[in-house]
Amino acid sequence: MSHEPHDGAIDEELPLLMPNDQVASTALVNFVIPPEWDEGSAARFDELSEKEALGSATSEEIEELDGLSVLRRRAIVPRTGQEVMREHEQGRCHSC
């Protein structure tokens, strides 16, 4: 079975234990680690923002910039409870 890991994901084969610590089989488990706003993401945001402003950003870079914009907004200017509720009601809240 083929799979594509997500960005920031960790693939790990974990044994499934039966009673008396007998190993029954192994299963592939995919852990997605949410990105954090840090110096690296801030530098990448600046780089992509400049490319977008100059009109030289690819569609993939614009998509990455959109993701970084959301991450930046959440880290630097946290949403109010009212904003979270409004997004949830509109079906746009990805962290609810």
Q: Does one domain contain both 23 and 48?
A: no
pLDDT in tens, 48-95: 999 999 999 999 999 999 999 989 988 887 778 888 888 888 876 555
Q: Does one domain contain both 79 and 60?
A: yes
In a domain, 71, yes or no: yes
Q: Does one domain contain both 56 and 72?
A: yes
pLDDT in tens, 4-23: 544 555 555 555 555 665 55
Q: Does one domain contain both 74 and 44?
A: yes
Contact (Cβ atoms closer than 8 angstroms) between residue 28 and residue 34: no
Q: How many CB atoms lie within 10 A of CB 69?
A: 13
What total of structural domains would you count in the chain?
A: 2
pTM of the model as a whole: 0.52
Residue closest to 3 by CA, chosen among 30, 27, 34, 26: 30
Domain that holds residue 20: 1-33
Q: Does one domain contain both 27 and 59?
A: no
In a domain, 96, yes or no: no
Say which residue the tokens 């009673």 belong to: 19
In a domain, 23, yes or no: yes
